[in-house]
Amino acid sequence: MQKSLTLFTVRQPLRKAFKGRVRLRITDLIDDDRRIAGYFEPGVIEIALGSPVCAAATIDHEAVHALREMGLFTDAEWAALERAARADTAMMASVARRYPDLSEVDLIEEAIADRYAVWSARQRKLGALRRMLHRMNEELGQNEDAAVMRLIWRGAVGAR
C-alpha cells in the first residue's frame, strides 16, 4: 500500500510540471547504490524507491535539472534562483561536500535543485490557507526565487 501511495504521490507533480514531455522511470536501486536517489537524462527522470531520500523530493530535485536542460527557465528566473542559491551558504557548502568534482556552474544548479526540493516539501506540508499566507509573506519580502519556485510548482515553467 505504501509503495502504491508513493508512486501516485511522485507521478502527480511530474505530470503537472511537464505535460507528458518527461517520463518517470521507477526502480528499486540505481547502480545498486542506495545513496543514489535519482537522476535526469533527456526525457526521463529515474528515481530509486530503495533510496532513503523521499521520492517526491527526488522528483522535485530532478525536475529542476530537466527544466534547465529543456531551456524552459527565462534568464531572469534562472538569475533569481542563482542569486538565492549563492546567498544560501549552508546549501552551497552541503552541495560542495557531496559533489566535490563539480564545476561552480553545476554546483549552483545542484543547490537550486536542492532548494526547490526543500521548498516544495514545505508546500506539501502546508494547508491551502497556510500556503496562501506563506505566499503573501514571501511577496511582502519580495522573495524572487520563491516566485519562480511557485511557477515551477504550478507547472507554468514546464508548460512552456
Residue 3 has a pLDDT of 45
Per-residue pLDDT of the chain (160 residues; tens, 9 = 90+): 334 434 555 556 566 667 778 888 888 999 999 999 999 999 899 999 999 998 889 989 999 999 999 999 999 999 999 999 999 999 999 999 999 999 999 999 999 999 999 998 888 777 666 667 666 666 655 578 888 988 888 788 888 8
The whole-model pTM stands at 0.81
CA distance 105 to 37: 21
Count each helix (H run) and each strand (E run) in the chain, helices first: 7, 3
Residue 145 has a pLDDT of 85
Give the list of residues 6+ apart from residue 99 with CB closer than 8 angstroms, or none: 106, 107, 110
Residue 69 has a pLDDT of 94
To the nearest 5 percent, what fractions of the chain are helix, strand and coil? 65, 10, 25
Edge-to-edge strand list for the sheet holding 38-41:
23-27, 44-48, 38-41
**Taking the domains of the chain in order of start, what are their residue ranges?**
2-154
